[in-house]
Amino acid sequence: MKKLYIETLGCQMNKSDSERIAGILSDFGYVETTVEKEADLLIINTCSIRQLSADKAYSKLGVWGKWKKTRPELKIGICGCVAQQDKEKVRQRAPYVDLVFGTHNIYELPSLIKRIEEDEKVCSITTKPIVCNQNDFKIIRKDSVNAWIPIIEGCNNFCTYCVVPFTRGRERSRAPEEIIQEAKNIIKDGFKEITLLGQNVDSYGKDTNSPDITLANLLRELNKLDGEFRIRFVTSYPSDITDDLIDAVDECDKVCKYFHIPMQSGNSRILSEMNRRYTKEEYYTIVSKIRNRFANVAITSDFIAGFPGETEEEFIDTLKAIDELELDYSNTAAYSPRVFTKAGKMTDKFLSEEVKYERLERLNEKNREASLKSNEKFVGRILNVLVESKTIKDGKVVLNSRADNNKIVHFEDSSKNVGDFVNIKITKAQTWCLFGNPVD
């Protein structure tokens, strides 16, 4: 038995990929360990969204490279978005790496692994994905309650700041039958939540030339499956949220009333500079449509502070948008220049690190305020939650759960277990979580 350690950086797509990598390698005798030092094969699944994430990958490789000096039999692999982006250059920076494979090459692992076991140095990065039925491969899922299903990979949007179209390639939707089969397996295995993943999950089907293959119709099909479970989907591109998708979310009792719709900036000039295909006003319209339809909905977003050329007034429009739209939570980041991207070449418009980080600080403060305000809104209301874990605090069992609208809810009830759905009356709100008591 050989031991495998995978470190995963980046988004849920990467986490899902790692579960698939672990599954494939288990067929070759690799058992996952959480102890890096005892592994025979170390793999880092990397993220390139910001320079900081890419740097993390290389600093980890540096540490592992030192270990290999005293343990030459140790195998080191790197995959994910940094590998796809840097290709052969990975080896120039880290010559001791045994295996480099791209985001399109996961399903090629059965042959790659044999080659590195024969002491070959392998680098497999293609721009075309390996065509296969993913259900033919084992998956070792990390969580016992939630299971991820990637339904569309890649991105055609080319936002000027973003590296993802270069690291994940063009949009490719999986066949609905393949996704439904994976969902059936998941439900049979006892999972209670399915999260459909895509860089632009609401673009699902567009590349198939079949007008009936849409996220809305996929939700309708999944909703028909028997069993007690719920369905989420992330991440939605604002202008791809169709009325039909909103209708489907409304019609389907198993689909969570939660939308993650990154706005990126509250200013239309910056949105256009970012090559986002909507204006501030159009984003406002989408949010109000969703809010008018669902009582307890949560809408979350992502924002970038300090995009090249962003003025103070334009930045303030972002703070205003968070207030005016009553956004429930936002992921935030300071703009980081990326290789291959258009904005990365706007060097004359780059803002100083001081300005970017000062704006990020104000953005984070606004986000904290917005999150608390949003949480306070739910005090007195009843939310349906799914228990994700149990902890003991001051001798009492505390259940950590997630509401349908993605809010984190803590409550005490020794009769409830991980995987249970419970109705909770919210009694207290803090910035990042809610507290409450079970009700019938």
What is the binding site for ligand SAH (CB under 6 A)?
49-50, 161-162, 164, 199-200, 235, 237, 262, 264, 302, 304, 333, 335-336, 338
**Torsion angles phi and psi, residue 439, rounded to 5:** -130, 160
CA distance 41 to 21: 12
Q: How far is the CB of 333 from ligand SF4 (least distance, A)?
A: 11
CA gap 410, 422 in Å, rounded? 11
Please choose, out of 62-70, 156-164, 219-227, 378-386, the segment that lies near ligand SF4 by the rule CB under 6 A. Answer: 156-164
- Binding of residue 13 to ligand F3S (CB under 6 A): yes
> Is 164 a binder of ligand SF4 (CB under 6 A)?
yes
Query: Binding string to ligand F3S for residues 420 to 439, with x set by CB under 6 A, is what?
Result: --------------------
Q: Report the C-alpha gap between 191 and 147 in whole angstroms.
A: 7
152 in Cβ contact with 174 (< 8 Å): yes
Question: Cα separation of 95 and 97, whole Å?
Answer: 6
CB neighbour burial string for 197-229, b if at least 16 within 10 angstroms, e if fewer: bbbbbbbbbbebeeeebbbbbbbbebbeeeeeb
Residue carrying the six token digits 């992921």: 331
**x-or-dash pattern for ligand F3S, window 161-200, by CB under 6 A?**
--xx--xx--------------------------------
90 lines the binding site for ligand F3S (CB under 6 A):
no
Query: Which one among 229, 233, 237, 435 touches ligand SF4, defined by CB under 6 A?
Result: 237
- The angle at the Cα of 256, spanning 252 to 262, to the nearest 5 degrees, equals 120
Taking the mean position of all CA atoms in its chain, how far away is CA 186?
A: 19
Strand partners, 384: 423
Choose from ligand SF4, ligand F3S, ligand SAH, none: what does 158 bind? Cβ within 5-8 Å by kind: ligand SF4
Nearer to ligand SF4, 203 or 214 (CB): 203
- For residues 208-227, which are near ligand SF4 according to CB under 6 A? none
Q: Is 14 in the site for ligand F3S (CB under 6 A)?
A: yes
Q: Cβ 123 to ligand F3S, closest distance in Å?
A: 19
Q: Is 400 in the site for ligand F3S (CB under 6 A)?
A: no
**CA–CA dist 371, 326 (Å, integer):** 9
Sites of contact with ligand SF4 (CB under 6 A): 155, 157-159, 162, 164-165, 199-200, 237
